[in-house]
């Protein structure tokens, strides 16, 4: 079973940090006092996490990571969508992130565009009014009963 859980500022972040340290080799930092963390569990085990914070007029997403053994099961996609849903529910004008260049395609699937690129990281943005969480819209699965052909 897959479940998601939010950890607001001041929460016990041990489960979010177990994923963060396994994926990024980093633990608690100053940003956690301002950020909301989200954890996705696979059969009750923390498998993926990410965080969201407000800075300089934008919402920022970061540290979206999935344990290596759990990749390719759409858990990263779920973390990203949960973070975007939270930003949208706060009427985000814009969502930004910095990510390794090799993950640019993961974010551009949901509409993120490049703001600037450097060797180590690419900064991307998504206007709040372009957040689109309906995964059916971009899915071309043939014969899907969810699709209403017009
Ligand atoms: C990037 C990462 C979060 C993806 O998580 P994941 O759970 O393996 O990805 P998902 O299974 O949710 O993939 C969803 C979709 O994105 C695609 N995708 C996944 N990783 C991708 C990548 N690096 N580039 C382009 N597309 C990617 C998948 O093919 C899938 O496409 P589909 O819907 O057409 O089938 C994961 O690989 C990871 O933790 N990487 C290391 C940490 C990192 O670099 N984080 C990113 C920025 S902070």
Q: Which CATH class is domain 2-92?
A: alpha beta
Mean model confidence pLDDT for the chain: 94
> For 3-15, what is the mean pLDDT?
97
pTM for the model stands at 0.94
> For 118-128, what is the mean pLDDT?
94
Map the chain to HEC letters. CEEEEEECCCCCCHHHHHHHHHHHCCCCCHHHHCCEEEEEEECCEEEEEEEEEEECCEEEEEEEEECHHHCCCCHHHHHHHHHHHHHHHCCCCEEEEEECHHHHHHHHCCCCEEEEECCCCEEEEEEHHHCCCCCCCCCCCCCCCCCCCC
Ligand 1 pocket test target in 98, 103, 123 with most atoms within 8 Å of CB: 103
What percent of the chain clears pLDDT 90, i.e. is strictly above it?
86
User: What distance in angstroms lies between residue 103's CA and the mean position of ligand 1's atoms?
Assistant: 7
pLDDT in tens, 15-40: 999 999 999 999 999 999 999 999 99
Pocket of ligand 1 (CB under 6 A): 23, 62-66, 71-77, 99-100, 102-103, 105-106, 109
């Amino acid at each position: 079973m897959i479940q998601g859980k939010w950890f607001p500022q001041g929460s016990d972040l041990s489960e979010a940090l177990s994923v963060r340290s396994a994926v990024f080799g980093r633990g608690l930092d100053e940003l956690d006092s301002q950020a909301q963390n989200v954890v996705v569990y696979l059969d009750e085990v923390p498998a993926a996490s990410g965080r969201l914070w407000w800075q300089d007029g934008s919402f920022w997403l970061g540290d979206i990571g999935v344990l290596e053994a759990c990749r390719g099961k759409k858990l990263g996609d779920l973390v990203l969508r949960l973070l975007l849903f939270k930003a949208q529910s706060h009427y985000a004008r814009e969502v930004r992130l910095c990510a390794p260049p090799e993950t640019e395609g993961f974010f551009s699937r949901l509409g993120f565009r490049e703001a600037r690129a450097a060797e180590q990281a690419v900064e991307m943005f998504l206007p709040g009014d372009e957040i689109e969480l309906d995964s059916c819209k971009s899915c071309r699965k043939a014969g899907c009963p969810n699709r209403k052909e017009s």
